[in-house]
């Protein structure tokens, strides 16, 4: 089983956003909510139009029932408002386009497998590997940490981790540090010049 990676390069994140936006506003907004909120896919699937009409979203996480409040990133506000304009407050934000096989209902949230396929198809266009449903959540944490390593305590709390090493591994920082250490192995050391020796 592969360890799912975050998307490290901000230019690739922007490229994926544009790629998805050209194809599906639903998929674009799904990706944006994932990378700007740190929500699990199971929680993204449960968002309803009424929950995103204000500046913040208030909800309970499905895995641990913790209350979560987060701001809607201003860069998606205009697209989001157009997207939900004709939706009822009770409509799921990311509905499936197909009728559910078990319930025969329309408008139910997309399946996790649909989210996985959408992410992997987009990631493949940009040459990314080891992408999965946790990629968006990890990307959120990775990008926050890279902007300001002092956010580590905040990220630990947000992810529910009790040890910083778990958080660093989860968001891919440990892998980055190992890669950098390996690249330094056998690298030529700068020799002191004669003027430095005197």
Question: Is-contact 143 36, C-beta < 8 A?
Answer: no
Question: Is-contact 42 109, C-beta < 8 A?
Answer: no
> What is residue 184's predicted lDDT score, i.e. its pLDDT?
87
From the list 23, 56, 63, 117, the catalytic residue is: 63
**Would you place residue 196 in the very low, low, confident or very high pLDDT band (cuts 50, 70, 90)?**
low
- Is position 40 annotated as part of the catalytic site? yes
From the list 17, 137, 138, 145, the catalytic residue is: 137
Give the position of tokens 């040459």: 127
> What is residue 33's predicted lDDT score, i.e. its pLDDT?
97
Closest CA to 84 of 75, 95, 74, 73: 95
Mean pLDDT score of the chain, rounded to an integer? 90
- Is position 56 annotated as part of the catalytic site? no
- Considering only residues 179 and 196, tell me which one the structure prediction assigns the higher pLDDT: 179
Q: Hey, which of 22-26, 108-112, 151-155 has the most confident mean pLDDT?
A: 22-26
- Is position 137 annotated as part of the catalytic site? yes
Tell me the mean pLDDT in the region 58-66.
88
CA distance 76 to 36: 10
From the list 53, 112, 134, 146, the catalytic residue is: 134
- 160-191 pLDDT per residue, tens: 899 999 999 999 998 888 888 888 887 666 66
Q: Which of 90-99, 122-131, 147-156, 189-198 has the lowest mean pLDDT?
A: 189-198
Closest CA to 44 of 68, 77, 75: 68
From the list 8, 40, 45, 138, the catalytic residue is: 40
Provide φ and ψ at 68, rounded to 5°: -130, 135
- 73-84 pLDDT per residue, tens: 999 999 999 999
Tell me the mean pLDDT in the region 139-162.
93
Residue 167, token pair as written in the block: 């958080």
Provide φ and ψ at 69, rounded to 5°: -130, 125
- Is position 106 annotated as part of the catalytic site? no
> What is residue 189's predicted lDDT score, i.e. its pLDDT?
64
Question: Is-contact 98 113, C-beta < 8 A?
Answer: no
> What is residue 10's predicted lDDT score, i.e. its pLDDT?
97
pLDDT greater than 70 at residue 128: yes
> What is residue 192's predicted lDDT score, i.e. its pLDDT?
58
From the list 21, 53, 146, 161, the catalytic residue is: 161
- Is position 8 annotated as part of the catalytic site? no
- 102-124 pLDDT per residue, tens: 666 788 999 999 999 999 999 99
> What is residue 104's predicted lDDT score, i.e. its pLDDT?
66
pLDDT greater than 70 at residue 101: no
């Amino acid at each position: 089983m592969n360890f799912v990676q975050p998307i490290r390069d901000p230019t690739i994140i922007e490229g994926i956003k544009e790629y998805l936006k050209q194809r599906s506003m639903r998929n674009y907004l799904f990706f944006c909510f994932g990378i700007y909120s740190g929500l699990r896919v199971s929680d993204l699937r449960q968002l309803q139009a009424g929950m995103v009409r204000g500046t913040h979203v208030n909800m309970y996480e499905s895995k641990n029932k913790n209350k979560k409040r987060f701001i809607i990133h201003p860069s998606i506000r205009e697209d989001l408002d157009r997207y939900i304009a004709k939706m009822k407050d009770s409509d799921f934000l990311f509905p499936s386009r197909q009728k559910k096989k078990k319930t025969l209902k329309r408008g139910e949230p997309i399946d996790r497998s649909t989210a996985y396929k959408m992410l992997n198809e987009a990631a493949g266009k940009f040459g990314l590997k080891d992408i999965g449903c946790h990629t968006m959540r990890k990307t959120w944490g990775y990008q926050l940490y890279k902007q300001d390593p002092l956010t580590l305590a905040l990220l630990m709390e947000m992810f529910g981790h009790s040890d910083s090493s778990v958080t660093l591994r989860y968001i891919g920082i440990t892998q980055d540090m190992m890669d950098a250490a390996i690249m330094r192995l056998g690298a030529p050391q700068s020799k002191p010049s004669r003027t430095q020796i005197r």
